A = this chain, B = another copy of it.
């Protein structure tokens, strides 16, 4: 029987989607397409000007039966997709926090896709697990803990919350979540409250402690202590504190050491969300913001925000994490995992499957070296400083909070005649006008009730000239706006 089958084999035509001839041709075409996009990116509106639903009208809604050529598809990318992009890599992108990219990060991603390994446990991809274990050490942490690449900050907070919750439930024994209370400042990213609700913390027990502009929107250890003590008097159990290093609104820095001191008195899990500003700590002049980090249980940072790559989460003592998240189905059993000589990263996160993402950071560190990465951080901070000086030099504007990193928080001066609603409206109008030109994209926030314009420097292609042009455009907007009043 085996013989008959074998003799028929040659006649079976197989579709080969990894055909080496095609692979040697098409990705080269794409590599030519991409730098062209980067070179033309200045000519596209940075904030897309399309209307909702635009794409449905312009692209087929069903997969074709037969193949189409790469040329046809790239034409659609140019004519249909690119006009609908908000160009995060545009040098005129000053919105949110930038999503940085680099040639080395790109190479790392290519290699990750090339191997396409699924490293749920050690044996499934030893190199993937071991390279990831090397990274935190070569990065900025040493000691008994370890780091693991999560998908998002949300996931890092989610899994550490679960670890904290299950550890506390073990001690408490009641199985009742309703007593647990979590703490953070009112400036903490909304993903914190979302993660708390996901794990079953009652929204009534999420304390977002108010901050003030006078304290730079930083969480006060004294207020934290007062909140914790009040909760304990009411029979509640303090569970988790989220400290932020560089808040989304204004890059406020919570004092890790003092806050961890308070939290640790009551046995709480302390997490540091260093998504944005953590990367800056590769420069000695910013390192002091990490003082006290040895006291915390976990820390996450997003290298894509400032270090040209993906997200990392570092956990001091992963035991509670692994206890909460480990699984051991028969189909994944293997000698190495059972010998306890290896790490299985599936037990440190939500999903089972995981890509070989550490290749990106590894390629970035090695291709650029620490010296260039520090230069990258410093040049962004320097450009933000230039913008800050521009704002200070124009009496119609004010800096709302002192600048520390690459974000400038500013606004048109409050209007004493017409009041704060009017001030907010003017700033909103200025922002809408600037963004409608497609020449610059900025976003806003509200902090301490104040409507603030955010100018975040950090897109990889941004140079001094773009900052100068952005400021000219903002002034032009202010001229037009204040003239019409």
**Contacts A111-B77, A138-B62 given; does A18 touch B101 at CB 8 Å:** yes
**Complex: A193 Cα to B329 Cα, angstroms:** 11
Distance (whole angstroms) from the CB of A278 to the closest CB of chain B? 15
* A210-218, A368-376, A414-422 - interface stretch: A368-376
With both beta carbons as reference points, the residue of chain B lying nearest to A462 in the complex is identified as B14
Type the 1/0 row for A178-197, where 1 means its CB is closer than 8 Å to any CB of B: 10000000000111011101
A248, B20: Cβ atoms under 8 Å?
no
Query: Counting chain B CB atoms within 10 Å of each CB, which of A77, A165, A341, A471 scores highest?
Result: A77
Q: Which of B31, B81, B308 contacts A127 (CB 8 A)?
A: B81
A324, B197: Cβ atoms under 8 Å?
yes
**Contacts A122-B52, A389-B5 given; does A155 touch B351 at CB 8 Å:** yes
Distance (whole angstroms) from the CB of A480 to the closest CB of chain B? 19
Copies of this chain assembled into the complex = 2
Distance (whole angstroms) from the CB of A479 to the closest CB of chain B? 15
Q: Which of B14, B88, B106, B158 contacts A118 (CB 8 A)?
A: B88
**Contacts A5-B389, A189-B329, A198-B350 given; does A50 touch B126 at CB 8 Å:** yes
Counting contact residues on chain A (CB < 8 A from B), the size range is 35 or more
B114, A34: Cβ atoms under 8 Å?
yes
* A129-137, A230-238, A255-263 - interface stretch: A129-137
Interface: A177 (CB within 8 A): yes
Residues of chain B within 8 A (CB-CB) of A53 are: 130, 341
What is the interface of chain A mostly: helix, strand, loop, or mixed? helix
B137, A62: Cβ atoms under 8 Å?
yes
**Complex: A18 Cα to B68 Cα, angstroms:** 31
Within 8 A of B (CB), among A355-404: 359, 363, 365-373, 375-376, 379, 382, 386, 389-390, 392-393
Within 8 A of B (CB), among A62-91: 62-68, 70, 72-73, 77, 80-89
Distance (whole angstroms) from the CB of A478 to the closest CB of chain B? 14
- Subset of 12 A-B contacts with CB under 8 Å: A9-B386, A12-B379, A20-B39, A27-B107, A64-B369, A81-B131, A89-B116, A99-B116, A101-B113, A152-B351, A152-B352, A194-B327
